[in-house]
Chains A and B, each alone.
Chain A
Amino acid sequence: MSEFLPPILARYGDDLLDGFWITLQLVGLSIGFGIVLASLSTRARLSKRWWLRWLSAIYINLFRGTPLIAQLFLIYYGLGQFSGLWRTLNLWWFLRDPFNCAVLAFTLNTAAYQAEIFRGAVEAVPRGQWEGASALGLPRHIGFLKVIVPQAAIYALRPFGNEIILMVKGSAVASVVTVYDLLGETRLAFSDTFRFDVYFYAAALYLVLVETLRRVWNLLEARLTRHLDPASKQRMRRRKESVLEPVAS
């Protein structure tokens, strides 16, 4: 098999695929943990207590307004400074590993973006839906889960898909702190051989991943909105843009 491949792929193809798998893990874990953190943060953002709203707004804006790579450096190098403290807390095994630091930084970053998406989606559901739920005698949290969330999910779907794609692209910065993700393996192969085409193979893998996600998301959206007629889909799309236009910083 390998004699049909270009020589650089025959030699480094497996490494690139290993890196691709690490990239998938980085993105999957960060998005997964991110959903949990974003839900908590959205909860706080919509809370009645002002200090919870404030805290969550500061967190969201700080992480959305600064570069991901700087956040990663703060966590990887910055937290590493206090290794003595982490050792006594028995957390050092976690923070010592650049992969874990990358997952931590990406989770904090994507959760901030996701929280803003969730908030926009919840606020896009008309007030009458809340009022209707309470008129039916549903407790607030049941009304939220059974009435508001299913409708908000439709608003959130597309921006959420975009956020996953942004995370795939953003995850490449992990290679800077010696995580051997797809770009990390690519840089290694390049520094071994000085063969530039290895970058093109890596680029192709990234493009395949992003394009696949985009297409799956289009199918998902078609499925979730199958009860809407074309005119109201159009309206929703416009509404989504105006409501979920990411607010400056």
Chain B
Amino acid sequence: MDDSLLSLLRFGPQGWGDELLAGVRITLLLALATAPIGLVGGFLLALARRSQSARLRVPATIFTTVFKGLPELITLFIVYYGLSMLLSALLSLVSDVYVEVSSFLAGMIALGAVSASFASEVFLGAFAGIPKGQIEGAEALGLSRYARMRKVVLPQLLRLALPGLGNLWLVLLKDTALVSVIALPDLLRRTFVAVGATKEPFFFFFVAILIYFAMSLVSSVILGFLEARYSRGYAGR
């Protein structure tokens, strides 16, 4: 019994091993493509939320409140159906095609907006952790606004933000599973297909969970290394 179950994971036409691996690739690709959006978007949102000007501060605060509060799944549906309908409506002015946004792109936009919102929170916390004297010192040295940010604030900011950003990466990796609901052929979706063909749901979903767990473990080991490296100037404090 056990032997025949494991043989379902073989690579090649009989087994599902290669299909699942292809799913892992899509899952990782989506997470890796979304992470930079979250990182850069989160930093810009944090800058906007700290800004003196209400024209920047208010929209950025509303954006983060909305995308932090909404279930990721509803955000995903809104982006997926909403964008398709919007683009179709715009294109219908010139021709009569119906376009559908790919589930990968919809996932990237939706999860990107969510991670950017949470990342802005992490960056705000990190900004607050930089001692005032550092900025005053940079001003006293006559550094320009840009040099102050680039040479003094950012290096310290990244160290302070790294643990929080690492957690967001782990959250993002898990959230990619939601995109399987709009038919992205990621790990979970392919597991579903395998279940449909083999009628072995418990075995396959358990295997999928173990694979997700392995990805989380590897990520946290790498993040541990990164954190150690970024705080190597601060040992013992």
Q: Which residues of A contact B (CB under 8 A)?
A: 61-62, 65-71, 73-74, 77-82, 165, 168-173, 175-176, 183, 186-187, 190, 196, 199-200, 202-203, 206-207, 210-211, 241, 245-246, 248-249
Partner of B166, one of A82, A207, A248: A248
A191 CA to B68 CA, complexed, in Å: 26
A/B interface sample: 16 pairs, CB < 8 A? A61-B213, A65-B213, A66-B212, A66-B213, A73-B191, A73-B205, A78-B201, A169-B69, A171-B71, A206-B71, A207-B66, A211-B65, A248-B223, A249-B170, A249-B213, A249-B217
Q: Which chain A residues border B82 with CB–CB below 8 Å? A: 196, 199
Q: Is the CB of A248 within 8 A of B188?
A: no
Partner of B209, one of A71, A171, A249: A71
Known: A173-B178, A183-B73, A190-B81. A81 touches B212 (CB 8 A): no
Q: Distance (Å) between the CB of A12 and the closest chain B CB?
A: 15
B177: interface (CB < 8 Å)? yes
Q: Distance (Å) between the CB of B31 and the closest chain A CB?
A: 12
Residue of A nearest to B177 (CB): A67
Q: Is the CB of A169 within 8 A of B71?
A: yes
Q: Distance (Å) between the CB of A76 and the closest chain B CB?
A: 9
* 0/1 interface trace, chain B 108-151, chain A, CB 8 Å (1 if under): 00000000000000000100000000000000000000000000
Overall SS of chain A's interface? helix
Total residues of chain B contacting the partner, CB 8 A: 47
Q: Is the CB of B188 within 8 A of A81?
A: no
A187 CA to B80 CA, complexed, in Å: 13
A169 CA to B188 CA, complexed, in Å: 20
Q: Distance (Å) between the CB of B82 and the closest chain A CB?
A: 6
Q: Is the CB of B205 within 8 A of A77?
A: yes
A203 CA to B216 CA, complexed, in Å: 30
Known: A70-B209, A78-B201. A248 touches B219 (CB 8 A): yes
Q: Which residues of B contact A (CB under 8 A)?
A: 65-66, 69-74, 77-78, 81-82, 85, 125, 163-164, 166-167, 170, 174-178, 180-181, 188, 191-192, 195, 199-203, 205-206, 208-209, 212-213, 216-217, 219-220, 223-224
Q: Which chain B residues border A173 with CB–CB below 8 Å? A: 73, 178
Residue of A nearest to B192 (CB): A73
Q: Distance (Å) between the CB of A44 and the closest chain B CB?
A: 20
A77 CA to B192 CA, complexed, in Å: 10
Q: Is the CB of B74 within 8 A of A62?
A: no
